[in-house]
Amino acid sequence: MLVRRTPACTLRASIQSHSHYSQSRSKSGSRSLATHAPSSSGTPLKEKNCASITPPYQTLIQNLEHVRSVLKRPLTLAEKILYSHLVDPINGLGSGDVGRIRGEAYLQLRPERVAMQDASAQMALLQFMSAGLARCAVPTSIHCDHLIQASQGADADLEKSIQSNKEVFDFLESAARKYGIEFWKPGSGIIHQIVLENYAAPGMLMLGTDSHTPNAGGLGMLAIGVGGADAVDAMTGTPWELKAPQIVGIHLTGQLSGWATTKDLILHLAGKLTVRGGTGRILEYFGPGVENQSCTGLATIANMGAEVGATTSTFPYSKNMQSYLHATGRGPVARAADEAARKGFLSADEGAEYDEVVEINLSDLEPTINGPFTPDLATPLSKFGAFVKEQGWKDELSAGLIGSCTNSSYEDMTRVADLARQAKAAGLTTKVPFLCTPGSEQIRATIERDNITSTLEDVGAVVLANACGPCIGQWKRDEKQGEENAILTSFNRNFKSRNDGNKLTMNFLASPTIVTALSFSGKLSFNPMTDSIPLPSKPGETSQSFKFSPPKGQDLPSSGFIPGETSYYPEPIPEPQPETEVIIRKDSQRLEVLEPFESWFDNGDGKRNAKNERGLELPPLKVLMRVRGKCTTDHISAAGPWLKYKGHLTIFLKICVLITALNDEGGEMNVAFDHDAQDGQSTTDTIPNVAKRFKARNQPWALVVDDNYGEGSAREHAALQPRFYGCSMILARSFARIHETNLKKQGVLPLWFVDKADYSRIASGDVLETIGLADLLQGNPNAQISIKVTTRAGEVFEIPTRHTMSADQLKWLRAGSALNYIRSQMK
């Protein structure tokens, strides 16, 4: 159903080498962020050279005029940004029927920028290098944030991580130098905060190799999380393909007040939409409730849009965005955006239609806590204490963690510091470990200058390195291992075992202010809006209590942002240095040059793969297992301590493919059946070990999986790992968007059950054969794929499936991978 939006909400504008990694030295122990010397800058930011980050508004607006001549209807903001980036704005949409574009048409797009974090950049660069180009086709950056483990505190953790990951950082920096990529060193901060502070611009289209790339949507752009192979498309100048998303309008009215924050808005919305409600959709916010939100507050909302599966989220250009651009040294971008806004480019047209509209009155919102184990289990704070009691959990908090890419803005930190000052005045300190992760060196330096850091430390906070840390499992936590316990975080994701490796740790998501308040109480049931904390008293004294006042903060620092340790920062717009040798040690246990995946078909050269007697159908595939229930990319390809092996596919795959997936035949974790076990082999083993046996026998295989398979991060290893071991097809009740695309990129065929009940009809050891794939590969766009199933008992039946393969994606499948196809076109 299409919903017409009125009225329009348009802004009328009145408005170096690795050995030189800088090591900060703590002056007050692990709880301190050190004061940096030689290259540290306490001078407020100056206006930057914005030539490479200012969108080409004139060209984009001209492209959009061509699109309007085809569509002849009002456009949403998301459509304006997408369609203005079409490779062919005249013919790229085909029919102008909105119903045949959104959710159906495949768009060929030209993103303006790529950003990669250090864990995913390894594989992306290895793939890019195999393309043989001398430089990136679009501005690209690398951000060292995922490989820094939280343990003792900022300085010690950073130094240890630089030493333990030196080989990877050397590789990334040398590749960046060779290809002209901006390299943000360890300690510079988290990719999404850095992008928001330095690269994001209204109306831009960019890709990032992390699922929370949409964070940059807080500046009124489309930032989309992808796998490394998709990033390589943009980096090589290859048109990037996206199935045109549906557009959901989120109409905001009213005003946030008291304890309610933008984090509570997105937690509330996650509860309404669920983890699948945004799949194949862009969330576009509009209405009077948008205008009063800070730019960084909008970024928080966009960041967690990933938790409902949304392609990305965006907002109309606002005065607060304009102010944020000026405050972060991007005045030229703001002035160009002002002009683009005057021409109507940076907001939806009057009468634009949405596929669905969700109404939210901000005045009705209260703080919300989501979890455990899924980000869409939303409970209003007023009901959370009763919820804890109903579940039989201990009314006890074991740790509070704030910061991360989702909530580490200056506004977040000033609100938290206000609570800390209130508590300190009452003589309170936190009752549980209280960890704070600054999002960037710019934020770290600014909050230190403004005495926010010392205020938090005074009440017990431990300030961690400017990195992802506990949010992604980089947390060396010794306590509570093997024990059920509850932590409260301002992070974005809370899957089982994600943060500390303990499957019994329950992570509840909340705003930084709620996390902070409950850290002083130590109880899950504490409601700072209504409850008080007893104060210590001596015998005979009248007992007293303390109650928080609603926190106050400010979105931008009065004295401006300061950059802090500038040696962490890259040279702007670097030129490639082709003479640079990319550093990969021959005996490396961390990095491995990629070998192309083999195609089961003829690669388009007429030479049939002798191993496949079925021609353009897949060979007979044995079912490895039927996966039960939620299977995120964390389940398929674990992070945490395994991140360090992400650049070495062989080692990485040996240890952690699907190790936390549940086998539906028996319900056990990390157990698979080998019905063809040979002498001396058991009929059950770990999933990686059975996959290795199949590979050793040259037995291609398939997986049968449940709904929303591949939910979570953008990590393409969740597609690379099964592919490496011989997985050629995955049959799912449904897929998460990024993961389905990653499978296609690596030459794995993703198919959807037409009847979800067929999931239970297929078991491990059954043999699957495609019927109709050959017609599809030979150019019949209407061909349907069915699956012939031969059970272990000899029963034979056929089930219908549906696919989402575009013409280009079929070329990837036929070539064995997208990279194989790209390489073949460059010869």
- DSSP single-letter state for residue 733: S
Is the bond into 372 cis (omega within 30 degrees of 0)?
yes
Percent of the chain with pLDDT over 70: 90
pTM assigned to the model:
0.83
Q: Report which of 423, 766, 726, 405 is spatially closest to residue 597, judged by C-alpha positions.
A: 726
Known catalytic residue at 707: no
Expressed as residue numbers, the domain containing 764 is 621-825
Answer with the residue of higher pLDDT: 150 or 203: 203
The answer to whether 440 and 130 have CB atoms below 8 angstroms apart is no
Percent of the chain with pLDDT over 90: 69
Q: Is 56 helix (H, G, I), strand (E, B) or coil?
A: coil
Position 56 pLDDT exceeds 60: yes
Q: Is 722 helix (H, G, I), strand (E, B) or coil?
A: helix
Q: How confident is the model at residue 731 (pLDDT cuts 50, 70, 90)?
A: very high
Res 637: pLDDT:
76
Q: Report which of 203, 237, 235, 230 is spatially closest to residue 217, judged by C-alpha positions.
A: 203
H or E element, residue 687: helix 687-696
Position 21 pLDDT exceeds 50: no
Name the phi and psi angles at 452, rounded to 5.
-75, -40
Q: Is 139 helix (H, G, I), strand (E, B) or coil?
A: coil
Answer with the residue of higher pLDDT: 703 or 44: 703
Q: Rounded distance, CA 825 to CA 827, Å?
A: 6
Known catalytic residue at 824: no
Residue 521 inside a domain? The answer is yes
Query: Could you identify the residue written with the tokens 């460059």?
Result: 826
Residue 742 inside a domain? The answer is yes
Q: How confident is the model at residue 638 (pLDDT cuts 50, 70, 90)?
A: low
Known catalytic residue at 715: yes
Q: Rounded distance, CA 646 to CA 120, Å?
A: 7
Q: Report which of 347, 305, 274 is spatially closest to residue 13, judged by C-alpha positions.
A: 347
Res 302: pLDDT:
97
Q: Rounded distance, CA 483 to CA 6, Å?
A: 53
The answer to whether 813 and 805 have CB atoms below 8 angstroms apart is yes
What's the chain's Rg over C-alpha atoms?
A: 26
Q: Report which of 537, 518, 538, 536 is spatially closest to residue 528, judged by C-alpha positions.
A: 518
The answer to whether 263 and 406 have CB atoms below 8 angstroms apart is yes
Position 11 pLDDT exceeds 50: no
To 10 degrees, the CA torsion angle through 225, 227, 228, 229? Answer: -120
By DSSP bridging, strand 356-361 and strand 796-802 are unpaired
Residue 465 inside a domain? The answer is yes
Position 561 pLDDT exceeds 70: yes
**pLDDT tens readout for residues 641-659:** 555 555 556 665 566 678 8
- DSSP single-letter state for residue 362: G
Q: Is 757 helix (H, G, I), strand (E, B) or coil?
A: helix
Residue 694 inside a domain? The answer is yes
Res 724: pLDDT:
86
Q: Report which of 296, 350, 360 is spatially closest to residue 325, judged by C-alpha positions.
A: 296
Contacts 24+ apart (CB under 8 A), 795-799: 797/761, 798/771, 799/753, 799/754, 799/755, 799/758, 799/761
Known catalytic residue at 146: yes
Known catalytic residue at 500: no
Res 472: pLDDT:
73
Q: How far is C-alpha 593 from the chain's CA centre?
A: 26
641 and 502 both lie in a single domain: no
Known catalytic residue at 26: no
Query: Could you identify the residue written with the tokens 């990279």?
Result: 819
**pLDDT tens readout for residues 654-690:** 666 788 889 999 899 999 999 999 888 899 999 989 9
Which one of the listed residues 85, 628, 715, 739 is annotated catalytic? 715
Q: Is 319 helix (H, G, I), strand (E, B) or coil?
A: helix
Q: Rounded distance, CA 217 to CA 314, Å?
A: 5
Res 738: pLDDT:
82
Res 39: pLDDT:
59
Q: Rounded distance, CA 298 to CA 281, Å?
A: 18
Lowest mean pLDDT among 350-354, 613-617, 791-795: 613-617
Give the CATH number for residue 514: 3.30.499.10
3-state SS of 626-641?
A: EEECCCCHHHHECCHH
Name the phi and psi angles at 729, rounded to 5.
-155, 145
508 and 655 both lie in a single domain: no
527 and 659 both lie in a single domain: no
**pLDDT tens readout for residues 755-764:** 999 999 999 9
523 and 389 both lie in a single domain: yes
- The stretch 702-730 carries a mean pLDDT of 87
Q: Rounded distance, CA 165 to CA 374, Å?
A: 31
656 and 776 both lie in a single domain: yes
Position 249 pLDDT exceeds 90: yes
**pLDDT tens readout for residues 331-376:** 999 999 999 999 999 999 999 999 999 999 999 999 999 999 999 9
Res 6: pLDDT:
39
Q: Rounded distance, CA 411 to CA 417, Å?
A: 10
696 and 813 both lie in a single domain: yes
Number of domains in the chain: 2
Q: Rounded distance, CA 339 to CA 420, Å?
A: 42
781 and 667 both lie in a single domain: yes
Which one of the listed residues 32, 84, 141, 145 is annotated catalytic? 145
Q: Roughly what angle, to the nearest 10 degrees, separates helices 319-327 and 331-342?
A: 160
- The stretch 133-159 carries a mean pLDDT of 88
Q: Rounded distance, CA 519 to CA 538, Å?
A: 24
Which one of the listed residues 102, 493, 648, 803 is annotated catalytic? 493
Residue 445 inside a domain? The answer is yes
**pLDDT tens readout for residues 62-114:** 999 999 999 999 999 999 999 999 999 988 886 556 558 999 899 999 999 99
Res 38: pLDDT:
43
The answer to whether 176 and 142 have CB atoms below 8 angstroms apart is yes
Q: 563, 585, 608 — which closes off a domain?
A: 563
639 and 779 both lie in a single domain: yes
609: tokens are 């793969």
The answer to whether 786 and 772 have CB atoms below 8 angstroms apart is yes
Position 37 pLDDT exceeds 50: no
- DSSP single-letter state for residue 363: G
587 CB contacts (<8 Å, ≥6 apart)? none
Handedness of CA 474, 478, 480, 483 (dihedral sign): positive
Q: Where would I find the H helices in 508-591? A: 512-521
Looking at residue 390, its amino acid is E
Render the burial of 712-733: b for 16+ CB within 10 Å, e for the rest. Answer: bbbbbbbbbbbbbbbbbbbbbb
- The stretch 222-251 carries a mean pLDDT of 93
Position 823 pLDDT exceeds 50: yes
Position 20 pLDDT exceeds 60: no
752: tokens are 């959807």
Res 19: pLDDT:
37
DSSP labels, 769-786: EEESHHHHHTT-TT---E
Which one of the listed residues 713, 734, 764, 817 is annotated catalytic? 713
Task: Centre a 10 Å sphere on the Cβ of residue 91 and count the other Cβ atoms it contains.
Answer: 11
**pLDDT tens readout for residues 598-607:** 899 975 555 7
**pLDDT tens readout for residues 465-485:** 887 777 777 788 989 999 999
Q: Rounded distance, CA 456 to CA 402, Å?
A: 11
Residue 767 inside a domain? The answer is yes
- The stretch 439-463 carries a mean pLDDT of 96
User: What is the distance in angstroms between the CA of the first residue and the CA of the last residue of the chain?
Assistant: 46
Answer with the residue of higher pLDDT: 737 or 296: 296
Res 643: pLDDT:
55
184: tokens are 């943000």
Query: Could you identify the residue written with the tokens 């005249």?
Result: 90
Q: How confident is the model at residue 792 (pLDDT cuts 50, 70, 90)?
A: very high
β partners of residue 750: 730
Name the phi and psi angles at 667, rounded to 5.
75, 15
Lowest mean pLDDT among 282-296, 541-555, 632-646: 632-646
Position 486 pLDDT exceeds 90: yes
Position 765 pLDDT exceeds 70: yes
Give the CATH number for residue 778: 3.20.19.10
Q: Is 436 helix (H, G, I), strand (E, B) or coil?
A: strand
Q: How confident is the model at residue 785 (pLDDT cuts 50, 70, 90)?
A: very high
Which one of the listed residues 146, 415, 498, 626 is annotated catalytic? 146
Q: Rounded distance, CA 186 to CA 616, Å?
A: 47
Residue 628 inside a domain? The answer is yes
Integer CA distances (angstroms), 704 to 479, 618, 625, 664, 693, in order: 37, 16, 6, 10, 19
Q: 540, 563, 586 — which closes off a domain?
A: 563
Q: How confident is the model at residue 545 (pLDDT cuts 50, 70, 90)?
A: very high
Q: Rounded distance, CA 378 to CA 396, Å?
A: 19
Q: Rounded distance, CA 451 to CA 453, Å?
A: 5
- DSSP single-letter state for residue 414: H
Q: Is 156 helix (H, G, I), strand (E, B) or coil?
A: helix
The answer to whether 565 and 24 have CB atoms below 8 angstroms apart is yes
Which one of the listed residues 155, 210, 674, 685 is annotated catalytic? 210
Give me the chain's average pLDDT, please. Answer: 89
Q: Rounded distance, CA 381 to CA 370, Å?
A: 10
Q: Rounded distance, CA 157 to CA 147, Å?
A: 10
The answer to whether 153 and 29 have CB atoms below 8 angstroms apart is yes
Edge-to-edge strand list for the sheet holding 461-463 = 378-380, 368-370, 505-509, 485-489, 399-403, 434-437, 461-463
Residue 15 inside a domain? The answer is no
